[in-house]
Amino acid sequence: MSSPPLVHVAGASREFPAGKVRALDSVELSFGRGEFLSIEGPSGCGKTTLLNLIGLLDRPTAGRIEWAGADTTGWREGERARRRLEGVGFIFQRFFLLPTMTARENVEMPLRARGRPTAERRARALELLEEVGLTSRADAYPHQLSGGEEQRVAIARSLANQPPLLLADEPTGELDIAHAGEVMDLLQRAHTIHGATVVVVTHNPDVAARARRHLTIRDGRLVRDTAQE
């Protein structure tokens, strides 16, 4: 008997009461462990909304989201938060590092939330900062880092709890070409070395080209789902 997909989006719609805007319309989608997907489409088409549903940051107004065969509909907020912490690494366009914490302390945050001992947190954070090439910047604060460095810290933070799923929303949107390439190299490494499933929302065709499966959304509907051979 085959195992269920890592994530199954079962006819999910998301409607926002203000203006009765339907951001997503009956999306059906499944993906398994170890996949690398891009989600493309024009601004306002529902890409980020879909990512938020997959990552349990939001709830569909119709349909459901399943994680490894489990229907998440009945999960209360505490359970959803726990599952996000253990199962998802988030990478955002604007980094969202805490300005009062050093790079190392920012990477430690998910481990602190899980109650890991101080020595373990520190060792894991330094290991990840070395992996993203920022050992020498461990004690730097976000305002002392370049945009590319901030995003590398954010990627290190996303990997802290070794989540099976990485969700990246326009991870290169604030970066120049050189730094964008570095960030995508790190996401590729997370996919190939750590075995993470990676889902990237992007407008950038060079970023999308790194994925093996390409989804296109228009007007809230999934209109294309193709795999690269």
Please report, for the chain, the start and end positions of each structural domain, with discontinuous segments joined by +: 35-47+78-227
The structure's pTM equals: 0.92
Largest CA distance in the chain: 52
For position 18, what pLDDT does the model report?
67
Residue 227: the pLDDT is: 85
Nearest C-alpha neighbor of 158 from the set 106, 123, 207: 106
pLDDT at 3: 80
pLDDT tens-digit profile, the chain (229 residues): 568 899 999 999 999 886 678 899 999 999 999 999 999 998 889 999 999 999 999 999 999 999 999 999 999 999 999 999 999 999 988 889 999 999 999 999 999 999 999 999 999 999 999 999 999 999 999 999 999 999 999 999 999 999 999 999 999 888 888 888 888 999 999 999 888 999 999 988 888 888 999 999 999 999 999 986 6
Distance, in Å, from the CA atom of 172 to the CA atom of 207, rounded to the nearest integer, reads: 8
What SS3 state is found at 126? helix
Residue 146 near residue 110, CB atoms below 8 Å: no
Q: Please state which architecture CATH assigns to domain 35-47+78-227.
A: 3-Layer(aba) Sandwich (3.40)
Burial class (CB in 10 A: 0-12, 13-18, 19+), 8: buried
Which pLDDT does position 178 carry in this prediction? 85
- Characterize the bridge pairing of strands 213-218 and 36-40: parallel
Who contacts 192 (Cβ-Cβ below 8 Å, separation ≥6)? Answer: none
Which secondary structure element, helix H or strand E, spans residue 197, and what is its range? strand 197-201
Q: Is 18 helix (H, G, I), strand (E, B) or coil?
A: helix
Residue 30 identity: S
pLDDT in the model for residue 194:
85
